[in-house]
Structure 1
Amino acid sequence: MVALVALLLLSACGHGERTRGAAVECPSIAGMPDALLLLFGEMHGSKEAPALIRGLACSVSEKQAVAVGLEMPSQDQARLDAFMASGGKADDVDTLLATDFWQQGRDGRSSAAMLELIEDLRALKQAGRPVTLFAFDDQPGTQLERNVAIANGVRRFREAHPQMRIIALMGNVHAMSASMWAGDRMLAPSGSLLADLHPVSVLVSHPAGTIWACMPACGVQSLPASRDEAVPGFHEGAVMGGYSRSYRLASLTASPPAAENGKPAP
């Protein structure tokens, strides 16, 4: 099984302005589920999970259109669209980061690795690849329950693009395809609310390592290894309920917030 190749980014997927039509080489990733809707459930705040999504999008876009969905406020979609159409210069990055999501966010969804993922998707698009980026978190500014809000955002994009391959990255509870007990109540994760769209839920598992999160203090947090298959790559089944597949990362390294004190982090 090809293991580490999903995390490799070749020079064409790096930072900076790209020429439309430029050659892009992407790795072939063994074992990726053949489904139109893939829900990847992660522990927010690592470098490796966004890198996995970046590698998958690069590979899929060799043969077909692909959309990457991120757990960001859908109300910020216009900023994402503008950045994807930009040259990726410093002013473009500053404009993207000038929202509460980036400036106040501290849960890993607004990490430097997430910004790098967005920058590399922009580079792929500018190189002529059929890559789309969309935000699916409908909760900010509403009273929607979070799983409902996330499911609504993914569903809206699917209805507008019924045949496009979607790779959505979200928290590992949201991506579950089955209900679960949360204290004394039954919780319906976003994945279960999207059952009629036949998603494949993939748990992002990991060896012992670190993430950047607030637990409750904000900073680098240590995590033990997931108790599942230790070989990096895609696998059938998962240690966590509500998942039919898993992807084992080769490492787990904390990624801090992309913006600190109103400016991009170094």
Structure 2
Amino acid sequence: MLALFVAAALSTTPCEPPEGHEVLWTPENRFVVVGEIHGTREAPAAFAELVCAAAEQGPVTVALELPVSMQPQLDAFLTAPDEPTAAALLQPTIFGDASWADGRTSIAMVDMMQSVRRLRVEGRDVTIRAFQPSNPRPAGFDQNYYELDMASELVEAAASRPESRILVLVGNIHASKTHFERIDLMPAAAHLPRKETVSLNVAQQGGQSWSCQAEECRVYDSIARYDAEARGVIMGPVSEGAWDGVLAVGPVTASPPMAGEPVQAPEAISAGSSS
């Protein structure tokens, strides 16, 4: 009986990572960046499985596009005794604020975070780190400074746990490794060491997402630009090297915000949308 108890206590959740994930875990890849269209069920779920696979090999820091001011609540979330308590700890944050409804506070995001918490309960060396700047930019400091601040937070996350691989889930523009000439933007991932960074764009294969566009947050159709039948991690330069490959999850479905549906998208969220 004691042996059975010990075996149960040591059991771990099996990982089901996307096909082709193995190429991501080379020793030089300190940063694995996944760029998504916010507000889908599938992208956070696939990201959670990548975290699970990475955690089988060593320490992992999960970096999320959430305000750095949330870090105390994220730390408490990870150490909560059970899932309902963990979810309740998010309620006073942007997850409980219906005005933050651009997809980063979706039910799918909470599910992904709960999966990371379960890995920690099972004994994996995982943590969650917020890296979105909390303070508004001063006048005259454009989006490029915001991207630089995000990259700085990611570098700090790596430096604070040098033995850890950094898995980043962020809007796909932030995940680009090249300069966007049309809008004169150097994204966050472009500031990270190129030889230590691999970036994937979640392939647009149709379906729907929950996002904020113009003045309204709601379900929007997702454009199909990639083979809808493709699945897994598919390496090869995308958009002239903006991303190193794609994460193909198939046609997506929308995941609404944890706090419910707002009537209107606040200006600050519309302006900060990254997808």
Task: State the TM-score, normalized to the length of structure 2.
Answer: 0.80
The structure with the largest alpha-carbon Rg is 2
Q: Which moved more, 1:70-79 or 1:161-170?
A: 161-170
CA contact (8 A) 1:233 1:247 kept: yes
The two structures, once aligned, show a CA RMSD in angstroms of: 2.3
Post-superposition offset of 1:52: 0.8
Measure, in 1, the Cα distance between the counterparts of 2:231 and 2:18.
12
Measure, in 1, the Cα distance between the counterparts of 2:193 and 2:69.
25
Post-superposition offset of 1:251: 2.7
Q: Of the candidates 99, 102, 105, which is equivalent to residue 100 of structure 2?
A: 105
Q: Of the candidates 188, 191, 197, which is equivalent to residue 190 of structure 1?
A: 188
In the TM superposition, what whole-angstrom CA distance separates every residue of 1:125-180 from its partner, at most 9, and x where no partner exists? 11111211111112435546321221121111011122311110101110111111
* Residue 55 in structure 1 maps to residue 49 in structure 2: yes
* Residue 26 in structure 1 maps to residue 20 in structure 2: no
Aligned twin of 1:76: 70
SS in 1 for 2:181: strand
* Residue 251 in structure 1 maps to residue 251 in structure 2: yes
Q: Of the candidates 211, 214, 224, which is equivalent to residue 213 of structure 1?
A: 211
In the TM superposition, what whole-angstrom CA distance separates every residue of 1:8-48 from its partner, at most 9, and x where no partner exists? xxxxxxxxxxx964432213544222322111111111001
Q: Which moved more, 1:215-224 or 1:77-86?
A: 215-224
Measure, in 1, the Cα distance between the counterparts of 2:256 and 2:204.
18
SS in 1 for 2:58: coil
Q: Of the candidates 113, 118, 122, which is equivalent to residue 123 of structure 1?
A: 118
SS in 2 for 1:63: coil
Post-superposition offset of 1:250: 2.1
Tell me: CA distance 1:62–1:93, structure 2 relative to 1, closer, same or farther (3 Å). same
Post-superposition offset of 1:93: 1.6
Measure, in 2, the Cα distance between the counterparts of 1:141 and 1:77.
17
Measure, in 2, the Cα distance between the counterparts of 1:50 and 1:204.
10
Tell me: CA distance 1:205–1:86, structure 2 relative to 1, closer, same or farther (3 Å). same
CA contact (8 A) 2:17 2:52 kept: no
Aligned twin of 1:87: 81
Q: Which moved more, 1:238-247 or 1:121-130?
A: 238-247
CA contact (8 A) 1:228 1:239 kept: no
Post-superposition offset of 1:213: 0.7
Q: Which moved more, 1:195-204 or 1:102-111?
A: 195-204
Q: Which has the higher helix share?
A: 2
In the TM superposition, what whole-angstrom CA distance separates every residue of 1:51-76 from its partner, at most 9, and x where no partner exists? 01110111221221112111001111
CA contact (8 A) 1:73 1:101 kept: no
Aligned twin of 1:43: 37
Gap regions ≥5 residues in structure 1: 1-18
Aligned twin of 1:155: 155
Post-superposition offset of 1:102: 4.1
Post-superposition offset of 1:189: 0.4
Q: Which moved more, 1:68-77 or 1:235-244?
A: 235-244
Post-superposition offset of 1:95: 2.2
Task: State the TM-score, normalized to the length of structure 1.
Answer: 0.83
Measure, in 1, the Cα distance between the counterparts of 2:222 and 2:19.
27
Gap regions ≥5 residues in structure 2: 1-7, 263-275
Tell me: CA distance 1:89–1:227, structure 2 relative to 1, closer, same or farther (3 Å). closer
Aligned twin of 2:135: 140
SS in 1 for 2:35: strand
